[in-house]
Amino acid sequence: MSELATLNIERGGNGATAQTETYEVPFEAGQSVLDGLRWIRVHKDPTLAFRFSCISANACKECMMRIDDKVVYACLARLEPRDMHIAPLSNKPLIRDLVTEIGPPAERL
């Protein structure tokens, strides 16, 4: 039996009730939390919302979220074979799941 990472993800926003959903993700050494989130979308739930663009190159700075109560980039945080708690930024308006309004006001519609 291969190791698993257990991701407890705070979901909700935009009228939906906030709740924590738990997903088990196959663990492979060297993966990022972003890799785990992308695995969930393909294999478990395509509706899980999170922002990312550059895919782990540390260029776009879009995947900022709270992992175990620390504000980090999901692409730089290592996935670990244990329970991890993932939540949206607390100081930005919530759009859905892990997506918050991080664009400057002047660059929105």
CA 23 to chain centre: 12
| Contact residues for 77 (Cβ-Cβ < 8 A; gap 6+) | 32, 33, 34, 67
Site string for another protein, 7-36 (x = CB under 8 A): ------xxx------------xxxxx----
Q: Which stretch binds another protein (CB under 8 A): 4-12, 19-27, 81-89, 99-107?
A: 99-107
CB of 81 to another protein, least distance (A): 14
Per CB under 8 A, 105 contacts another protein:
no
Site string for another protein, 41-80 (x = CB under 8 A): xxx-xxxxxxxxxxxxxxxxxx------------xx-x--
Q: Give the C-alpha separation, 4 to 57, whole Å.
A: 25
8 Å CB contact between 57 and 70: no
Our CA angle for 84, 86, 90, nearest 5°, is 145
Residues that bind another protein (CB under 8 A): 13-15, 28-32, 41-43, 45-62, 75-76, 78, 95-97, 99, 101-103, 106-109
